[in-house]
């Protein structure tokens, strides 16, 4: 079977889940990611045949995708800003709205500042900030050791120097010196929202990265705000990605905890998805 005949199998098997152009995109992405074939190969070498090892890899990938596994976990790669990250089911796949938050943070940083990324996961925000402004002193914290191992792998691959710490946001204490800016995209999906979620997310992404406890949709924000209250310098900035359903609760928490000047932004889908606040002087 050649490369075109294999593509046809992908089209046939995945037709109930994806449009033809999406299937072709998936197929090409697998070819480039697994075998470093470039996107012109199907047109230029339609008769190319796969080795038995290559066939095995494609068959396994097809079965995973048919079972709703996200393409990023199949290839182990996800793009973020202008770079590529390793990802595994131990970390959330970075979302476009988090790229928007990272760009916003980057515009607010001044050279040499000390920046913390709480709940860092794959390290996408911390790495995006440090890669684009190497003068910053950036720390990424996550409770998951497996996530921090992925973040370390990413920083080695990208040659970006970030301080990685395994810790619980509920337990991080006081820093030796004040922090200029804190950013966080903590778990913010309320368990009730499960019923509207695709199995692509529910069955594959880590629940520790997604869900808040029942009856406490702002659980992680409370701890991040309490850490920021103690450790941000006066006039320092706090940035959050948020669940639009609970934005008012987060604003109230901030206003009751020495923060002001709350600035809310919408994401590309028009949802109120991120905010910044200033620590009162």
Q: What is the 3-state secondary structure (H, E, C) of 64-112?
A: HHHCCCCHHHHHCEEEECCEEEECCCCCCCCCHHHHHHHHHHHHHCCCC
- Tell the smallest beta-carbon distance from residue 16 to ligand SAM (Å): 30
Question: Toward ligand SAM, which CB reaches closer, 171 or 195?
Answer: 171
Q: What is the 3-state secondary structure (H, E, C) of the chain?
A: CEHHHHHHHHHHHHCCCCCHHHHHHHHHHHHHHHHCCCCCHHHHCCCCECCHHHHHHHHHHHHHHHCCCCHHHHHCEEEECCEEEECCCCCCCCCHHHHHHHHHHHHHCCCCCEEEEECCCCCHHHHHHHHHCCCCEEEEEECCHHHHHHHHHHHHHHCCCCEEEECCCCCCCCCCCCEEEEEECCCCECHHHHHHCCHHHHCCCCHHHHECCCCCCCHHHHHHHHHHHHHEEEEEEEEEECCHHHHHHHHHHHHCCCEEEEEEEECCCCCEEEEEEEECC
Question: Toward ligand SAM, which CB reaches closer, 58 or 162?
Answer: 162
- State both tokens at 227: 């850490």
Q: Is 207 in the site for ligand SAM (CB under 6 A)?
A: no
Positions in 133-172 near ligand SAM (CB under 6 A): 142-144, 147, 168-170
Angle separating helix axes 52-66 and 3-14, nearest 10 degrees: 20
Positions in 219-258 near ligand SAM (CB under 6 A): none
Question: Binding ligand SAM by CB under 6 A: which of 78, 119, 150, 274?
Answer: 119
Question: Toward ligand SAM, which CB reaches closer, 156 or 165?
Answer: 165
Residues near ligand SAM (CB under 6 A), total: 22
Positions in 14-43 near ligand SAM (CB under 6 A): none
Question: Binding ligand SAM by CB under 6 A: which of 94, 128, 217, 236?
Answer: 94
Q: Is 266 in the site for ligand SAM (CB under 6 A)?
A: no
- Tell the smallest beta-carbon distance from residue 215 to ligand SAM (Å): 17
- Tell the smallest beta-carbon distance from residue 236 to ligand SAM (Å): 20
What string marks each residue from 178 to 197 as x (binds ligand SAM by CB under 6 A) or -? -------xxx----------
Q: Is 129 in the site for ligand SAM (CB under 6 A)?
A: no
Question: Binding ligand SAM by CB under 6 A: which of 61, 115, 125, 242?
Answer: 125
Question: Toward ligand SAM, which CB reaches closer, 17 or 170?
Answer: 170
- Tell the smallest beta-carbon distance from residue 98 to ligand SAM (Å): 4
Residues 6+ away with beta carbon under 8 Å from 38 = 32
Question: Toward ligand SAM, which CB reaches closer, 142 or 278?
Answer: 142
Judged by CB under 6 A, which stretch of 20-28, 91-99, 153-161, 243-251 contacts ligand SAM? 91-99
Using CB under 6 A as the criterion, which residues of the chain lie in contact with ligand SAM when the complex forms? 91-92, 94, 98, 119-122, 124-125, 142-144, 147, 168-170, 185-187, 208-209
């Amino acid at each position: 079977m050649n490369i075109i005949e294999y593509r046809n199998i992908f089209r046939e098997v995945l037709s109930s889940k994806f449009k033809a152009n999406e299937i072709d995109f998936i197929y090409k992405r697998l070819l480039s990611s697994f075998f470093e074939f470039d996107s012109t190969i199907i047109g230029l070498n339609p008769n190319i045949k796969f080795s038995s090892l290559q066939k095995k890899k494609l068959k396994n990938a097809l079965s995973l995708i048919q079972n709703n596994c996200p393409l990023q976990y199949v290839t182990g790669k996800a793009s973020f800003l202008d770079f590529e990250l390793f990802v595994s089911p131990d970390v959330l796949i970075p979302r476009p709205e988090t790229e928007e938050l990272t760009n916003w943070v980057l515009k607010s940083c001044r050279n040499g500042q000390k920046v913390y990324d709480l709940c860092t996961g794959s390290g996408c925000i911390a790495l995006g900030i440090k890669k684009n402004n190497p003068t910053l002193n950036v720390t990424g914290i996550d409770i998951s050791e497996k996530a921090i191992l992925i973040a370390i792998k990413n920083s080695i691959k990208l040659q970006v120097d970030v301080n990685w710490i395994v810790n619980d946001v509920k337990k991080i204490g006081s820093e030796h010196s004040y922090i200029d800016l804190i950013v966080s995209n903590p778990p913010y999906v309320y368990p009730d929202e499960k019923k509207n979620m695709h199995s692509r997310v529910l069955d594959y992404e880590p629940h520790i990265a997604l869900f808040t406890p029942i009856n406490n949709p702002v659980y992680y924000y409370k701890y991040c705000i309490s850490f920021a209250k103690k450790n941000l310098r006066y006039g320092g900035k706090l940035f959050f990605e948020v669940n639009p359903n609970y934005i008012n609760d987060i604003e109230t928490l901030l206003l009751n905890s020495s923060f002001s000047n709350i600035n809310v932004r919408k994401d590309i889908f028009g949802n109120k998805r991120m905010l910044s606040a200033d620590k009162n002087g």
